Structure 1
Amino acid sequence: MDSIDRDIMFHLRRDGRLTNVELARRVGLTPPPCLRRVKRLEDAGIISGYRARIDATAMGRGFEVVVAVEISINDLQTVEEFENAVASYDEVVDFHRLFGRPDYFIRVAVADQAVFETFLTSRLMSLQAVARVDSHMIMKTIKTED
């Protein structure tokens, strides 16, 4: 990977809908070699896909909470069941297993505090493996790569 590949990724990260012609112009290539580079980055798994960025507030999901979760049961089956359940919840927008404590960080996006309370008590806290939950409401998003 060279500086042109990194420049291609920079521009595609900002706007994945750029045409190949516009992308080539921005990185200083003609369209055919630019397209070959993008294809090579995709084939190598470096570019893993393209997606739309959705405004959470406009979608009625502007209330975000980072939830730290510790689990009490650590056998493989229980961990997999917990992870599969949490990953399936539509309210969960990011889900990370950590080294050390807590065991997980989960970013939840919902309409408001009441919806979050329902999600927390009826879905997340009802999972067998959950030992402890700490919720942290997001005051302000400074930067996101979503």
Structure 2
Amino acid sequence: MDAIDEQIIRVLRANGRASFSALGREIGLSTNAAAVRVRRLERSGVITGYQAILGTDAPDEVSGLEAFVDVRLDTDRDSEEFLEWASDVREILDAVHVTGPYDYLLRVHTRDTAALDGLLRLVKREGGAAQTQTRLALRPRRASAGPGSQRF
């Protein structure tokens, strides 16, 4: 790595979407020379990727956490009453009555772990849950690319 590579990295840190021509103008290279250097930095592992940093105004569907919450209701809580309550909670995307040791499986979406903690407390305090078990979604399911493509 030389001084020009360091300049490239400085510019890309400030604006990862800079075009090769803008990058070249900024550091005094032609568009092609800038492209060659960026590709070399990528191949050598100095640049491993680009990312979008979402601000606080990003829609919840784009940022945040998706989780699955198993809910066991208090013995005195009515199942239909819980379902009606859950339908009014914005963070609960889906509530499915299930068999097994839990009564419901919830699919939820919150902005961060603190909001998830608050939602779990709400489910217990107001929803009548005696017990919950939570799993975080690490990777969303991607939509099919077309007929015959593998979904999972």
Deviation at 1:98, TM superposition (A): 0.5
The root-mean-square deviation of aligned C-alpha atoms, in Å, is 2.4
Does the C-alpha gap of structure 1 residues 128 and 117 become closer, same or farther in structure 2, counting only changes over 3 Å? closer
SS at match of 2:59: coil
Deviation at 1:74, TM superposition (A): 5.9
Deviation at 1:83, TM superposition (A): 1.2
Q: Structure 1: give runs of 5+ residues left out of the alignment.
A: 1-56
Deviation at 1:92, TM superposition (A): 0.7
Does the C-alpha gap of structure 1 residues 65 and 80 become closer, same or farther in structure 2, counting only changes over 3 Å? same
Matched residue, 1:85:
85
SS at match of 2:125: coil
* Distance of 1:143 and 1:101 partners within structure 2: 30
Deviation at 1:102, TM superposition (A): 1.6
Higher relative contact order (CA 8 A, sep 6+): 1
Amino acid at match of 1:67: V
Deviation at 1:137, TM superposition (A): 1.0
Matched residue, 1:134:
133
Deviations 1:92-118 (A, max 9, x none): 111100122221110111111111111
Give the number of equivalent residue pairs: 86
SS at match of 1:142: coil
Structure 1 runs of 4+ aligned residues shifted over 6 Å read: none
Q: Structure 2: give runs of 5+ residues left out of the alignment.
A: 1-56, 145-152
Using the aligned pairs only, state the percent identity. 22
Matched residue, 2:107:
107
Q: Which has more radius of gyration?
A: 2
